[in-house]
Structure 1
Amino acid sequence: MTKKFPPISGKLPVMMHGADYNPDQWLHDPTIFEEDIRLMKLSGCNVMAVGIFSWTALEPKEGEFAFEWLDKVLDTFADNGIYAWLATPSGARPAWMSEKYPEVLRVEANRVRNLHGMRHNHCYSSPIYREKTAIMNGKLAERYGNHPAVVGWHISNEYSGECHCDYCQQQFRIWLQNKYGTLEKLNFAWWTSFWAHTYTDWKQVESPAPHGEFAVHGHNLDWRRFVTDRTVDFCRHEIESVRGVNPDLPVTTNMHMIDGIDYRKLAAIVNVISWDAYPTWHSRQDDSQLGSTFAFHHDMYRSLKRKPFLLMESVPSATNWQPVSKLKRPGMHKLSSLQAVAHGSDSVQYFQWRKSRGASEKFHGAVVDHIGHEHTRVFQDVAELGRALAGISEIVGASTPSETAILFDWDNRWAVNDAAGPRNAGIHYEETVIAHHRAFWKQGVPVDVIGSEEDFSSYRLIVAPMLYLCTEETGRKLEKFVENGGTLVTTYWSGIVDEHDICHLGGFPGPLRKTLGIWAEEIEGLYDHDVNGVKMTEGNELGLNGSFESHEVCEIVHPEGAEVLGVYTGDFYAGSPALTLNRFGKGRAYHMATRLKDDFLGEFYRKLADDVGLARALNADLPSGVTAQVRTDGASDYVFLMNFSGQEKSVSLDNRVYADLETGETMDGGIALPVNGVRVLKRKS
């Protein structure tokens, strides 16, 4: 496994620190730009994302371009040791374009075309929009592709949404024809014989609509896949329009909405992953639940390429669009920022540098407030972090040594949430996946978040919560993984449908039945007020004792070679298996037939980690609300101790020699972590 990756840009081989910068909003007052340069240097910010929403400033009228202001920005950056992620401005189009070419505007699922406005209100299939983005991007590349201040391309902004216009309907039919070949195969894959939905001509097929077809699950699933492919194709179109001048410039696009498109496909066409994180800190005193949720997301984005990523957007204070805009408490800015670094980020960047004076985000947090100077708490927090990042730049490129993986597939997520199944009131797929991940986070066990199509061979343990959509191929891969000595954990609602979202025949869990050694006969959804429980069997091999409460879903399973480790405590199926273990080949496969809570997951995965021999970031018991994460370059390990508990905590170190990376102080014994405290320690690998 690679231990150390090269820096994302050789021009800036240190921790990147900066923000989205919109100098085009301040062209009326040149003194603002001069002050911004001074403040950037004072805050320790070394990179800015520039031009994200600058199309009108760059092309005020069709065919009339104005680059002089951007020339000055980038030249001044170069003179002052500041760099830029130069954006393509396709995230929002000019009003003149919407007026002259209304086809560039999206059509919603109700088949009504939008008016001009908002972001991401454009059709990825529109020939005009593709032509206009190629012209704009090409001119940017020609002018700035070799500029000394430019470290890479920031392609568009938070790709999201879908269009249902005639162009997209045509492209959807072409996509389906390429996938299925014949209507007979499409009808079988979608099981359209149900409710007489059978198609007899390709032109009858349209995208799902609230006033039309939306009840054929295979249709819904393929539409979401098509939207992903359209989005990726448009992003590829943008990349091709900037790549020719300087192919060595890295390319990224910032990701954000997990429920929109399959980011694994988007990841395949960019050089580096970047994403935008906006936790709602301080909704309660203990932030560890939220901390673990964002740890999962950091791990997921890092795992898209299994190498360092960029935190492209965060907020140094408070947003203005969340339900409650809570200020970050003292210490939280550094803690939450270094959490991203702990999980693999080589940057901390913000939206935004300077607060806008008007429009919808004029109160969104920024490094520079409306007051316009550095004498604010937030600016000082940013400057403190800038100094800390400068002190730990040797971590840049360090990898995360994960022996555990959690399976998280976008099409499985779409299918689970679309299924009319045991709990339409909420089966909580994503929350369940994060709960399993949290059990490792509490122990300081590094985790990758991977897809079913990836290679499993480098892992000792794979966890697959609610693998509802499980293809025959995935079933064979997991069977081979276990047979070769791996440990697999699955849950209820697994192995139910294939890639077309039609049910496996021959008994659930379908392709996993042999590996798990069980037959799942029935599944029951519980009301929110219902509970059941799991009583551990005497002498079970994990050494777990007592009973644990379960909720939401109970699956009735029959062992077919599997050992019973725990049984239900209630209802008519009391005494039947709720937790099983199947020894298969050289490995083992566990199955949880019901949704269990954090207390069980914590004990179960602690025992399993010991049994499998998983390495922890720190060989010590971590107090509640404190986690440890590790990155390594092969010669040195970098251990991040982070306190999300809302209370002062003390952590006992193991017997290895540690040094505080920021101060150089040698550490041994115990470390006191204040509220929202974080320490970065270095040790020999």
Structure 2
Amino acid sequence: MRTPRVESATPVGALPVRVANREFNKLQVEIIREYSPGRFITHNFMSGFTDFDHYKLSKDLDFATWDNYPLGHTLVFLRMKGETKNPFDRVGHPDIISFSHDLYRGVGRGRFWVMEQQAGPVNWAPYNLWPAKGAVRLWTWQAFAHGAEVVSYFRWRQAPFAQEQMHSGLLAPDSAPYPGYHEVKQVFEELKNIDINEPVESEVALVFDYETAWVFSIQPHGEGVNYIDLVFRFYSALRRLGLNVDIVPPGSSLDGYKMIVVPSLAIVEGGGSGHVQKIRRSSRTWPKKRKKTETFQIPPEMPPGLLKEIIPVEVRQVESLGDNVETLVWNGKEYPVSIWREDVDPTITEVIARFKDGFGAIFRKENVFYLAFWPNGDFLVDFFEALSKESGIETKRMPEGVRIQRRGEYVFSFNFTSEEVDLEIPTKVQIVLGDQKIPPYGLLIWKENER
């Protein structure tokens, strides 16, 4: 007799499986270092892939690399969110690309390469357009602006056989140059006049936690509850304000940052208390969480656990909203809220925003803020803009599809749209590449001596 299955398996066994990858990688690294000493060792990671902790695995590597396929990655991400319109179908979403640059710069402890850069149409996405004219050049410069040491293209020549024969390269199967070849050659010439060896510096740190991603995927509690989507909302809002962002693991040094953003931290145990104290000393924080123990249980003390040391609230109950939409009222404006919200007891914490039905939404104690909901991008842009001003961080709202990034004395501006953009820039700057009127899929680089 078959017993009907009424629930999924217990989640406690799902976490250890994701931890084993580092040991296997470490064994391989030790063999290479013993029998082929003096060589760097790296690994190429992927966009949106969270099945293992990249921070821990990379401790055995010399630096990180990743594979940048903007068209396919953007399409897959948007379809995961249920979105059908893709205004960036031939160039990729600027923040989906730069998120991985910033993540793997953090994974590589400041050092990363692009091991595989898309050079033309690929063969594995739901559909495979060729990139817009100028896109390959745009992606290459964007990688350098975010700190890449090397950009390597996949591939040199399109293979006329086997599984990836429909995956293009810089050259066609007959060795004739594809359009991407000429754009790479253009960047090669442009780099001769621009020295960009300085590291990327940021005033904002965003804490990205693989363990939290696992908790979300094992027990999401509702449709749309996806850790990558949540983190991306916070990250993209910061980028829409023209801010450099460092993506860091839990427990890392937070010295020197004016703003710490924690989209969610599901498990704070063991060394977590020290990390809480680091957050306390920072200027601005947004810890949002769903609390579990290290054995994937709800702890006896209600959430947010150790985070109560810096934001004394207590989560009484949570709900995933499905198709329901609640209305947040903050700073005289209304914002729709979907996917997730919490019923929070503020204890001694100030409630600075509520939902229309009276539930608290945003809580503050001194320099720490707690969001009891899944925020949308427009709210986060307004929120971060107001609090950046309070924290002494300079922001600039960017036109749709336009982004800036600072590296050393250079400011890079990228136009990911199909229209010319006349960008407002400071008067006393030296333009080193491009023009203030940035063409479609083009870029502008200027040099700042003072800021």
1:289 is displaced (CA, Å) by 7.6
Which of the residues 287, 292, 313 maps onto 1:518? 313
In the superposition, relative to structure 1, how do residues 521 and 472 fare at CA in structure 2: closer, same or farther (>3 Å)? farther
Local SS of the residue matching 1:275? strand
Contact persistence 2:71–2:131 (CA under 8 A):
no
- Paired with 1:401 and 1:517, the residues of 2 have a C-alpha distance of 32
Aligned to 2:80: none
Displacement of 1:234: 2.5
Answer yes or no: is the 8 Å Cα contact 1:471–1:497 preserved in 2: no
The equivalent of 2:239 in structure 1 is 441
Contact 1:214–1:220 (Cα < 8 Å) also in 2: no
Any conservation in 1 of the 2:71–2:92 contact (CA below 8 Å)?
no
CA RMSD of aligned residues (A): 2.3
Moved more, 642-651 or 602-611: 642-651
Q: How does 1:632-671 map to 2 (within 5 A)?
A: 632=408, 637-660=409-432, 662=433, 671=436
Q: Counterpart of 1:220 in 2: which secondary structure?
A: helix
Q: Counterpart of 1:579?
A: 362
| Matching residue within 597, 600, 604 for 2:383 | 604
Residues 237 and 486 of structure 1: is their aligned pair in 2 closer, same or farther, counting only changes over 3 Å?
farther
Matched, 1:422 2:226: no
Task: After TM superposition, list the pairs within 5 Å mapping 1:297-316 onto structure 2.
Answer: 297-316=100-119
Aligned match of 1:503: 298
Given the alignment of the two structures, is residue 353 of structure 1 paired with residue 156 of structure 2, yes or no? yes
Query: SS of the counterpart of 1:606?
Result: helix
Corresponding residue for residue 83 of structure 2: none
- 1:155-170 matched pairs, under 5 angstroms: none
* Equivalent-residue separation in structure 1 for 2:123 and 2:238 (angstroms): 33
Alignment of 1:83-162 (within 5 A): none
Q: Residue 629 of structure 1: which of 405, 430, 436 is its match?
A: 405
Alpha-carbon distance between aligned partners in 2 of 1:551 and 1:521, rounded to the nearest angstrom: 19
Alignment gaps of 5+ in structure 1:
1-210, 537-543
Which of these residues, 534, 544, 553, is aligned with residue 340 of structure 2? 553
Match of 1:224 in 2: 18
- Per the alignment, residue 79 of structure 2 pairs with none
- Give distance in 2, aligned partners of 1:310 and 1:390: 19
Q: AA paired with 1:673?
A: I
Contact 2:121 2:167 in 1 (8 A): yes
Q: TM-score, normalised by structure 1?
A: 0.60
The verdict on how the C-alpha distance between 1:621 and 1:439 changes in structure 2, with shifts beyond 3 A counting, is closer
Q: Does 1:321 align with 2:112?
A: no
Cα contact 1:626–1:643 (8 A) shared by 2 = yes
What residue is the counterpart of 1:31 in the other structure? none
Question: One-letter code of the match for 1:497?
Answer: K
**Residue 422 of structure 1 contacts residue 523 of structure 1 at CA under 8 Å; is this kept in 2?**
no
What are the residue-to-residue correspondences of 1:410-489 with 2, within 5 Å? 410-419=210-219, 421-423=220-222, 425-482=223-280, 484-489=281-286
Is residue 192 of structure 2 the alignment partner of residue 390 of structure 1? yes
Q: Contact conserved, 1:472 with 1:498, CA < 8 A, in 2?
A: no
Distance 2:57 2:8 in 1: 26
| Equivalent-residue separation in structure 2 for 1:485 and 1:458 (angstroms) | 8
Residue 485 of structure 1 deviates from its aligned partner by: 4.6
Partner residue, 1:43: none
Query: Alignment identity in percent?
Result: 23
**Residue equivalent to 2:82:** none
Q: Which amino acid aligns with 2:425?
A: L
Q: Which has the larger radius of gyration?
A: 1
Task: State the Cα distance separating 1:286 from its structure 2 match.
Answer: 4.3
* Count of residues paired in the alignment: 432
User: 1-side partners of 2:190 and 2:277: how far apart?
Assistant: 46
Q: Secondary structure at the match of 1:513?
A: helix
Aligned match of 2:438: 673
- CA offset at residue 480 of structure 1? 4.4
C-alpha contact (below 8 Å) 2:202/2:244 kept by paired residues:
yes
Is the aligned partner of 1:253 residue 2:43?
A: yes
> How far, CA to CA, are the matches of 1:480 and 1:436 in structure 2?
20
Distance verdict in 2 for CA 1:547–1:505, change over 3 Å = same
Q: TM-score scaled by structure 2?
A: 0.90
Residue of structure 2 equivalent to 1:82: none
